[in-house]
Structure 1
Amino acid sequence: MKKIVLIILGFILGALAMYFYCVNNQTTDNMTETPTPKGVISPAEITALTQAYNPRYDTISNTIFRGIPGGDNRSSWYSLEDLRNYLTIAEKQVNDLKYNMDGVRLYLGAHPAVGNTPGYTTLLFVPTGTPMTSEGNMLNLALQKGDGSPDIPGGPGFDHGGQGDPPGANYPQ
């Protein structure tokens, strides 16, 4: 008799556990709200940051781009399709290099001069991550220094976004 009671109790506890697991799983699957990533800023903050850049931009434009209409490029535009495709390609290629890609770093760069016209400023995307290790670990307890992982050596970069119109136009365009 004790064995039957324990079996029935086990079934009831198992059914309750499955019920709560399925209900929790369904509410997680039905969540449509995307969490806000750190670093999202308001248009007012964008304006403040771009205005704070004005003295640097003026120095570059007044020295290197003197006499060139529009000045240096102040922004870069990339299509969502190109960004998504780049991230997919970069993840595949760094996986082949035995790295785990966990982000991208943006570098300021400049295209080569064409004749007497200096090259415009551009943004370069570079994949970041950590080497794959063969040691199994359920938790990633690696402490990172600074913000983000190091650049992945040999990882593909991304460039050639559209420039501002005119190149020196400030936010918003």
Structure 2
Amino acid sequence: MGKKRPEKCISIEEAKDLQKTWCDTRTPEIDKCLGFEDTREFWWSVEELEKYLKYVKKQSKKQGICNPGIRMYFGAYPKEQCKMDRGYATVFLAPTGAPAGEMGKGGDHAQNNYNLEPYNSGSSGIPPVAF
């Protein structure tokens, strides 16, 4: 038998409920305000993510950060950077953590590690791919 699934995995049904709730409570207002259907899903290959996580782990260790984290932020591209002259949504990953012994060194209150570069440039469906 394979490895045990990670503790924070959710069921497919839970994921579908989360996506439905987002779509029911947010996308109509966002799309109405923007005047177009914005993206709400983002894609990276596992290989890309593994490379980025390896970079974060290696560089964090050099800084004395033994348990770095990743925080995800919503963002939006300036209209001028978009092919269709629209400021589509995006997400980017930001490394977190502080050297051992510093306040706020871990968990969801960890400080952003501004010494390492965030990660972006995934792709998304236009229209969005539903879960």
Local SS of the residue matching 1:105: strand
Local SS of the residue matching 1:117: coil
How far the C-alpha of 1:92 sits from its partner, in A, is 2.5
Deviation >4 Å, runs of 4+ = 142-146
Partner of 1:117: 85
1-side partners of 2:70 and 2:21: how far apart?
A: 24
Listed one character per residue, the Cα deviations across residues 93-113 of structure 1 (whole Å, up to 9, x for unaligned) are 333444334221111111111
Which structure: larger Rg?
Answer: 1
Aligned pair in 2 of structure 1 residues 44, 91: CA closer, same or farther (>3 Å)?
same
2-side partners of 1:45 and 1:82: how far apart?
A: 26
Q: Number of residues paired by the alignment? A: 127
Listed one character per residue, the Cα deviations across residues 65-122 of structure 1 (whole Å, up to 9, x for unaligned) are x1x4xx1011000001110111112222333444334221111111111277332111
With the length of structure 1 as denominator, give the TM-score of the two structures.
0.62
Q: 2:51 aligns with which of 54, 76, 85?
A: 85
How far the C-alpha of 1:158 sits from its partner, in A, is 0.6
Identity percentage over the alignment?
A: 28
Partner of 1:100: 66
Local SS of the residue matching 2:66: strand
Partner of 1:155: 116
Q: 1:127 aligns with which of 82, 88, 95?
A: 95
Matches within 5 A, 1:135-154: 147=108, 149-154=110-115
Partner of 2:41: 75
How far the C-alpha of 1:144 sits from its partner, in A, is 7.0
User: Is 1:41 aligned to 2:2, yes or no?
Assistant: no
How far the C-alpha of 1:59 sits from its partner, in A, is 0.9
With the length of structure 2 as denominator, give the TM-score of the two structures.
0.80
1-side partners of 2:42 and 2:22: how far apart?
A: 15
Aligned pair in 2 of structure 1 residues 155, 146: CA closer, same or farther (>3 Å)?
same
1-side partners of 2:79 and 2:119: how far apart?
A: 20
Gaps of 5+ in 2: none
How far the C-alpha of 1:46 sits from its partner, in A, is 0.8
Gaps of 5+ in 1: 1-31, 134-141
RMSD of aligned alpha carbons: 2.6
Local SS of the residue matching 1:131: coil
